[in-house]
Amino acid sequence: MSTQVILKDFNLTLPPGKVVAVVGSSGNGKSTIAALLMRFYDVNSGSIIIDGVDIKKLDQTWLRKRVIGLINQEPILFAMSILENIRYGKPEATDIEVIEAAKIANADSFITSFPNGYNTIVGERGVTVSGGQKQRIAIARAILKNPAILILDEATSALDTESEMHVQSALESVSNGKNSLVIAHRLSTVKNADIIVVLNKGEIVEVGDHNTLLQKKGFYWNLMNQQTSDKANAA
């Protein structure tokens, strides 16, 4: 039985305090990177190193709770209050710390608009809040957790334009000065990244910032033109 190679000859470094974005069309292995960093499964060959240590030597639970924070397009909310959902990122946090995290995540204003405020109960899938509100609660949780590495995996892909603006602003706040990996399909969300890595068929084909990659008129330029055209046709 043959094994499909998702990522091939893949070598990526996350510089301290920088935002690195990984982009490419669907099925190119972008989300596989997040899964590998979280140790949902391990690499077949090669290694992933964090501060000089192979992550295979690190406890999975400790890695996910203390080192890496993940925000994806469908964050999990539990059947408890908004306050406790945010505090899940740091169980010992005070109410003041939770509220401060919510303010940074652009979540405080909508939370306090509910009759019960932070004591509002949400369903297991956050059915009482919108997609954008759910994302901002998840971002507040990540801010409170304060992970060494933050992974944003298609975090705004399921949102409408207005919600995306609120969430994108919150994401920029939480990723500021932190090792951040942004995995995105919408290129509009990665323009401000320090480094943009373009994947094609599981391989890195271009690396640079937004302006540099546009000037190359290669894969990134083509993706940008395609998305701009698709957006114009949908209008």
Question: What CATH number is associated with residue 103?
Answer: 3.40.50.300
Domain assignment of residue 166, yes or no: yes
b/e map of 202-233 (b: 16 or more CB within 10 Å)? bebebebebeebeeeeebbeebbeeeeeeeee
* Domain residue limits at 62: 19-234
Asked if 199 and 9 count as a contact pair (C-beta separation under 8 A), the reply is: no
For residues 133-138, average pLDDT: 91
Domain assignment of residue 206, yes or no: yes
C-beta atoms surrounding 122 within 10 Å: 21
Q: How high is the pLDDT of residue 41? A: 85
Q: How high is the pLDDT of residue 172? A: 80
The model's pLDDT over 194-203, given as tens digits with 9 standing for 90+, comes to: 999 999 888 8
For residues 146-165, average pLDDT: 82
Domain assignment of residue 11, yes or no: no
Domain assignment of residue 113, yes or no: yes
Query: What token pair was written down for 25?
Result: 């069309």
C-alpha–C-alpha distance, residues 121 and 227, integer Å: 38
Q: How high is the pLDDT of residue 173? A: 77
Q: Is the pLDDT of residue 211 over 60?
A: yes
* Residue 231: band (very low, low, confident or very high) from pLDDT cuts 50, 70, 90: low
Q: Is the pLDDT of residue 21 over 90?
A: yes
Question: Lowest mean pLDDT: which of 24-28, 54-58, 137-141?
Answer: 24-28
Total domains, the chain: 1
Q: Is the pLDDT of residue 176 over 80?
A: no
Domain assignment of residue 13, yes or no: no
Asked if 174 and 89 count as a contact pair (C-beta separation under 8 A), the reply is: no
Q: Is the pLDDT of residue 81 over 80?
A: yes
For residues 72-81, average pLDDT: 89
Question: Lowest mean pLDDT: which of 27-36, 41-50, 131-140?
Answer: 27-36
C-beta atoms surrounding 114 within 10 Å: 16
* Residue 5: band (very low, low, confident or very high) from pLDDT cuts 50, 70, 90: low
Domain assignment of residue 34, yes or no: yes
Q: Which residue has the higher pLDDT, 137 or 172?
A: 137
Q: What is the pTM of this model?
A: 0.84
Domain assignment of residue 227, yes or no: yes
